[in-house]
């Protein structure tokens, strides 16, 4: 009996010791887990703080580029003496008529890149609906023409007229404040003019290894943080069934033809002549030296741009050009936007002054809606509606076989319908704003 009691007591002591050891192990594991949790949380908090600081610093870089004039095609290092562990580089280049701005921030080992397309911004209260260069002729309004917003007119002013028995059917000739224009349109930035002039002369280069040949039906995209990819053809380049997105520049030595089966987003087209088929939809910038013909019922998303920047060597003393290899077909230099099309962005024509110029360099056809800006230093024929601003040297109305100078017939220009946040064409003395965040 006593032997059994002794064995039982020894077992109790052994069990108690095992329980104590078990509890000790559990407590140790819990303490270790707690320490690891605290350490992990502190680590991720620091990492998160550095990422947040990198994002904030990159945003500061974009804001700095908006407020300062930075050298093109070169990066600027911004220093932070109080926080030497931070580094910020800002680089500005042109992408079409807009600036491509990149801000790369690094906080210790965390890096963040912010990319933006930058354009000109005007406060809504200061936006002009119309700036008509003073050519010593009044503006003549006919039909259901309507101009709403601030207007800058020649010293000769504005009056009503008559075309083929149609007089002016509106009330007040303009709805908004009126100022006097000068003999010149507001200037574009010198750097932008030089950039577009260089393109018009064919001054563009690339590394052969970045030339690509996307397959029809497959999406080909390229980030703006990567090197630009190029598509090039010395002759006519037909874009059919392609889906292209991002940092892609398309060049042709003769002509680019965009079929409606092609989807373009944020890409750049450059050629002497560009044709855009009826029903095409996309968001892109097209820059030509001779002509751009946009078909009917096209839709151009924001921020798109149709630009003709004439090469002065090709335009002296002539209002027309011939397609290469087609001497019998003459086409007037300029931009045409076909009936029923919608464009959100910029239409820009700039060319050498010509004598006896009675043809329009920009034609906005009936039913066209332009949300943005039209800038033409020569003749504009406006039959559609512009929600935004028009800057032009002269208006042309071609009706019933006759040419009417400085006439607006059934045209509508209204600045108030453009969204307050709109960012568009860069001009001298304009603030800069972000048109679109890139990827």
Report CA 425 to chain centroid distance, whole Å: 9
Mean per-residue pLDDT, 216-239:
96
Tens-digit pLDDT profile for residues 254-270: 999 999 999 999 999 99
Most confident of the ranges 47-51, 300-304, 351-355 = 300-304
- What is the reported pLDDT for 331? 44
| pLDDT tens digits, 401-411 | 899 999 999 99
Q: Is the pLDDT of residue 112 over 50?
A: yes
Tell me the mean pLDDT in the region 28-48. 65
Confidence at residue 317, expressed as pLDDT on a 0 to 100 scale: 41
**Residue carrying the six token digits 């300062």:** 68
Helix (H, G, I), strand (E, B) or coil at 169: coil
Angle at CA of residue 66, ends 62 and 71, nearest 5°? 90
Give this prediction's pTM.
0.87
Mean pLDDT of the residues in the chain: 90
* Whole-angstrom distance, CA of residue 94 vs CA of residue 113: 18
State the first-to-last Cα distance of the chain, in angstroms, to the nearest integer.
86
How far is Cα 168 from Cα 410, in angstroms, rounded to an integer? 9
In the three-class reduction of DSSP (H, G, I as helix; E, B as strand; rest coil), residue 23 is classed as helix
**Residue 25, pLDDT score:** 78
Q: Cα 67 to chain center, whole Å? A: 19
Determine the Cα–Cα distance for residues 159 and 254; give it in Å rounded to an integer.
44
Q: Quickly state the pLDDT bin for 207 (edges 50, 70, 90).
A: confident
State the Cα–Cα distance between residues 367 and 379, nearest whole angstrom: 20
CA of residue 326 relative to chain centroid, distance: 34
Q: Above 70 in pLDDT, residue 314?
A: no
Q: List, for residues 218-227, the tens digit of each pLDDT value.
A: 999 999 999 9
């Amino acid at each position: 009996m006593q032997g059994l009691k002794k064995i039982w007591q020894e077992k109790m002591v052994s069990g108690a010791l095992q329980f104590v050891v078990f509890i000790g192990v559990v407590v140790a594991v819990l303490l270790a887990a707690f320490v690891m949790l605290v350490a992990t949380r502190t680590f991720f908090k620091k990492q998160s703080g550095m990422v947040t600081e990198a994002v904030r610093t990159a945003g500061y870089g974009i804001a700095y580029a908006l407020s300062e004039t930075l050298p093109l095609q070169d990066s600027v290092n911004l220093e932070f003496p109080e926080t030497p562990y931070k580094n910020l580089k800002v680089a500005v280049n042109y992408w079409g008529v807009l600036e491509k701005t990149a801000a790369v921030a690094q906080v210790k080992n965390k890096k963040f890149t912010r990319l933006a397309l930058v354009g000109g911004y005007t406060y809504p209260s200061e936006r002009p609906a119309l700036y008509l260069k003073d050519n010593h002729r009044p503006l003549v309004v006919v039909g259901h023409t309507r101009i709403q917003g601030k207007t800058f007119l020649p010293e000769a002013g504005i009056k009503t007229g008559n075309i083929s028995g149609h007089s002016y059917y509106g009330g007040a000739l303009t709805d908004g404040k009126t100022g006097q224009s000068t003999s010149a349109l507001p200037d574009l930035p010198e750097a932008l003019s030089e950039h577009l002039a260089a393109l018009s002369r064919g001054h563009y280069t690339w590394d052969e290894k970045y030339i690509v040949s996307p397959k029809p039906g497959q999406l080909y995209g390229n980030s703006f943080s990567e090197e630009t990819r190029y598509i090039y053809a010395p002759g006519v380049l037909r874009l059919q069934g392609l889906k292209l997105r991002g940092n892609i520049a398309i060049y042709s030595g003769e002509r680019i033809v965009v079929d409606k089966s092609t989807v373009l987003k944020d890409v750049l087209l450059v050629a002497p002549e560009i044709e855009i088929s009826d029903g095409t939809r996309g968001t892109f910038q097209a820059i030509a030296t001779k002509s751009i013909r946009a078909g009917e019922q096209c839709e151009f998303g924001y921020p798109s741009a149709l630009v003709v920047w004439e090469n002065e060597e090709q335009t002296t003393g002539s209002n027309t050009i011939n397609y290469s290899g087609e001497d019998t077909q003459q086409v007037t230099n300029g931009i045409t936007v076909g009936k029923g099309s919608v464009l959100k962005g910029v239409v820009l024509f700039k060319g050498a002054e010509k004598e006896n110029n009675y043809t329009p360099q920009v034609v906005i056809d009936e039913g066209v809606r332009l949300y943005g800006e039209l800038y033409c230093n020569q003749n504009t024929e406006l039959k559609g509606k512009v929600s935004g601003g028009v800057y032009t040297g002269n208006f042309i109305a071609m009706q019933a076989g006759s040419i009417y100078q400085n006439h607006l017939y059934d045209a509508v220009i209204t600045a108030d319908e453009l969204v307050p946040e709109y960012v568009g064409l860069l001009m001298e003395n304009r603030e800069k704003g972000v048109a679109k965040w890139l990827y």
